[in-house]
Chains A and B, each alone.
Chain A
């Protein structure tokens, strides 16, 4: 039996009395991009936090490359090839741009090939020696991506990387993510910009209140009464 790259099954995450994830099931194959959309607070980032090991799910399982990795810590998952970007980019500001990426390659790569020059790929090759504390927000996001890619992930979780980019930058980013998928990487992309998601994938999951309310193409989603109700109000 062949396994999907990632299989998240009936995952529940509760904070106090709040069910941030209420039985979510998603799957991603190698070379596939899954878009996750939904209003603020619908559980998108919580889902990524569970997959990347920041949160341990209260119920449900996460299987990666056929292995049960539920409750593994982020370090272990990163070394196995799951990495992510953050909604608010978090470069190590006391290091240079290049050191940020070198460190990730040294500790996280563990023999996987990955892309040759993540800084070049992210468009940062001209500021390698610059301190990461001097970057613009867009550059910080690019570095976040480069650092994640330096660990040569097989599964990349992208959390609102496109927010704040102009149309030209958006298009360039979309091309990059498509290239990664083409190389065989599985991607989950969380995004509010529906046009951007549409450019990337035909497979979208719509979340609301910790549940998955729709799966299909964005065009189909726009015709789904429940999705419309969530976005436009009843």
Chain B
């Protein structure tokens, strides 16, 4: 089988396995909250993956889009009286609009971008949670979506989002656009010189990853139905999504998925019962990764000559 066909087949296989596992798991495993959050983190990690893996921008403020999506959807439900399913789209769009506003961040690079994006997320948090906006966002007192609470439907939406995002990354990885983005990440001058529009390409990826996070945030809001600004603008959400992606291996479909399943699984085993050890483990893990496995655990397979999807 040609290499690219095999890789596509492998990707499709991963996507189908994910959908089946998360689709039928609630029938066997009662703690749907963990399943839901695991899916949510896979979606977020894929969003980080698209941005970091294909452009090199590491968004520590990624949670800003998540929170914007959560609030966008919630306000669409509360004030616009839209059904949950439609509000999800609104949440994602609010996040894209925030992405448009924050486009100038892309002029920064490296650590400056990471810090700039984090500051931007904090700004959005402080605006949303400001008591002066009490009438609109309910300020620091958070959101209650009792009228639209629907755990089954929102769970199904997250399965759908997982499928869509996995499919999107898969297509990106095997398309010419994906190749162009890799070229751009490596050397923007050469990329511009062969006719790739650097600004448009970066902006496109940025908005796509904003959309992904916004969608995840919107579905989270719907599923949880009661939350506070501190819940959906928690910087740990960015850090988790980034660490999961880096652990697994950016630029692949498999990497972020493996990262979430292993690390988020671990977090649920020991992170809640003995958080102090988890923090220690997480720290050691990050240092080890940066030093010895900068391309994630999937790079171990690649070293053995495997073509990692």
State in angstroms the CA–CA spacing of A51 and B114 once bound together: 34
State in angstroms the CA–CA spacing of A73 and B182 once bound together: 20
State in angstroms the CA–CA spacing of A94 and B250 once bound together: 13
Question: Min CB distance, B7 to chain A, in Å?
Answer: 14
Number of A positions contacting B (CB below 8 A): 30
Give the residues in chain B near A95, CB-CB below 8 Å.
Answer: 179, 182-183
Select B190's contact among A86, A109, A150, beta carbons within 8 Å: A86
For this complex, 25 residue pairs linking A to B, each with C-beta atoms less than 8 Å apart, are A74-B192, A75-B192, A75-B195, A75-B196, A78-B193, A78-B194, A78-B195, A83-B193, A83-B194, A90-B187, A90-B190, A92-B183, A94-B183, A94-B186, A95-B179, A95-B182, A99-B179, A102-B176, A106-B176, A107-B195, A107-B196, A108-B195, A147-B190, A151-B194, A151-B195
Could you tell me if A107 and B193 are in contact, using CB atoms closer than 8 angstroms? no
State in angstroms the CA–CA spacing of A227 and B19 once bound together: 73
Interface residue? A26 (CB, 8 A) = no
Q: In this complex, which of B176, B183, B195, B197 has the most chain A Cβ atoms within 10 angstroms of its Cβ?
A: B195
Interface residue? B167 (CB, 8 A) = no
Interface residue? B180 (CB, 8 A) = yes
Interface residue? A103 (CB, 8 A) = yes
Binding site for A on B (CB under 8 A): 176, 179-180, 182-183, 186-187, 189-198
Interface residue? A45 (CB, 8 A) = no
Closest residue to A73 on the B side, CB-wise? B192
Binding site for B on A (CB under 8 A): 52, 54, 73-75, 78-79, 83-84, 86, 90-95, 99-100, 102-104, 106-110, 147-148, 150-151
A-B contact count (CB 8 A): 65
Closest residue to B251 on the A side, CB-wise? A94
Could you tell me if B180 and A107 are in contact, using CB atoms closer than 8 angstroms? yes
Q: In this complex, which of B187, B190, B193 has the most chain A Cβ atoms within 10 angstroms of its Cβ?
A: B193
Closest residue to B187 on the A side, CB-wise? A90
Question: Min CB distance, B178 to chain A, in Å?
Answer: 11
A54-B189, A90-B187 in contact; A147/B179 too (CB < 8 A)? Answer: no
Could you tell me if A104 and B187 are in contact, using CB atoms closer than 8 angstroms? no
A75-B195, A79-B195, A150-B194 in contact; A103/B189 too (CB < 8 A)? Answer: no
State in angstroms the CA–CA spacing of A99 and B187 once bound together: 15
Give the residues in chain A near B198, CB-CB below 8 Å.
Answer: 75
Give the residues in chain A near B195, CB-CB below 8 Å.
Answer: 75, 78-79, 104, 107-110, 151
